[in-house]
Chain A
Amino acid sequence: MAEQKIDLKNLKAGGFIKERGKDLFTVRLRVPGGRLSVDRLSKIAEVAQKYGKGFVHLSVRQSIELININFNDFDAVVAELGEEQQKVASCGARVRVPTACGGCEYNPNGLVDTQKSALEVDQKLFGTATGHHKFKVCFAGCPFDCPKSAINDVGFQGAVWPKLDADGCISCGLCAKSCTEGALSMGADKKPVFDADKCIYCGDCIKVCPTGAWSAEKKGYTVRIGGKWGRRPLVGTLYATFVPEERVVDFIAVVLAWYQEKAEGAGRVRLGDIIIREGWQSLLERLRGDFPEYVVRETIAPQIIQTQLPLTGRQA
């Protein structure tokens, strides 16, 4: 082997992506949850100016990518970014950097601390080799679902289950008016009537209640599994509700282990396609072992999105 000119350990988790030009790479940076300090941002700008093309690219998964980095500069780029604790991200068949919305500290819609979850997953699972294909995780703070949880391999969405203190209710009707799902109506006794079958756990009733009569009985994440975008998109389907924030990493680890095992020998194939092949029951039962109180009774297969390609019966 030739004399080692660059530290190959830097390449281990991926994140260095070959460009068209000779010797040139895109360097994808690790920005869990899409949040970074201004100091880190300044350092990234400095490194991009010194070694890059003069611009950066914001990836659709909340990374900053340095463009036109010469491979001879890998070590210097990694070292200089490291001065502000900025690390390189991943690519390939690995657990990717989790994405997340702004979270709950300042976003009035937030139900759970998505930023905290994203950081925890990044710290504990980032770069884990799947053996098969990429593995994407995201955290949405509420059912608005800005991060698009259903098109991730495992997508989490903040959820609350409301409970009413009828004595504290002043019969203003704001909760029923605010419930766009039609899960709340005002009864003959001028108290809200809750139709649990229509509730999507958004917590709007709790937020709007002027007296605090509505509160959260339980809180956590709704989990959809098996989604992806790309050539053959799939929408992930519901596997669990109200998974506590502190059990997120364990939950993903079970899904990952099932995927690694069931896709053995299948090559480069995403989780959703393995679920279709194996049947959703298999993964649901595996999860039931560790999360009996949270997994749903049954689910459906990942939903295929018809993209209309290929066009059949005629030339493009």
Chain B
Amino acid sequence: MQSIDLRGVSCPTNFVMAKLELEDIEAGTTVEFLLDDGEPVKNVPRSLKDEGHKLLGLQEREGYYVLTLEKGED
């Protein structure tokens, strides 16, 4: 599974970077994003859901989060 590290990237740059990455990925593919705690983990999953992607899971690791999602249709 492709893993995209957005740790250390502040809002809204992290979301825009996630969008750009998803543009090159086929619909139905599962991807994971590494996100910082705080605003990034509150904002990015919500925004990606609004864009039509399916959120599959969010897991806390040591000091950060792993968001798994399935890319939606363009």
Contacts and interface: CB of A to CB of B under 8 A. Distances in A.
B17 interface: yes
B10 A16 contact: no
Interface stretch (A4-12, A201-209, A270-278, A284-292): A4-12
Interface stretch (A18-26, A110-118, A298-306): A18-26
Contacts of A163: none
Given A2-B20, A2-B23, A4-B20, A14 B12 contact: yes
Contacts of A25: 12
Interface in B2-48: 4, 10-13, 15-17, 19-21, 23-24, 37-39, 43, 47
Question: Quick one: which of B19, B37, B38, B43 has the most chain A CB within 10 A?
Answer: B19
A1 B21 contact: yes
A17 B38 contact: no
Interface residues of B, number: 21
Contacts of A129: 10
Contacts of B13: 8, 11-12
B60 interface: no
B12 A17 contact: yes
A251 interface: no
B57 interface: no
B12 A11 contact: yes
A92 B10 contact: yes
A51 interface: no
Nearest to B52: A22
A71 B16 contact: yes
B64 to A, nearest CB: 14
A145 B21 CA distance: 47
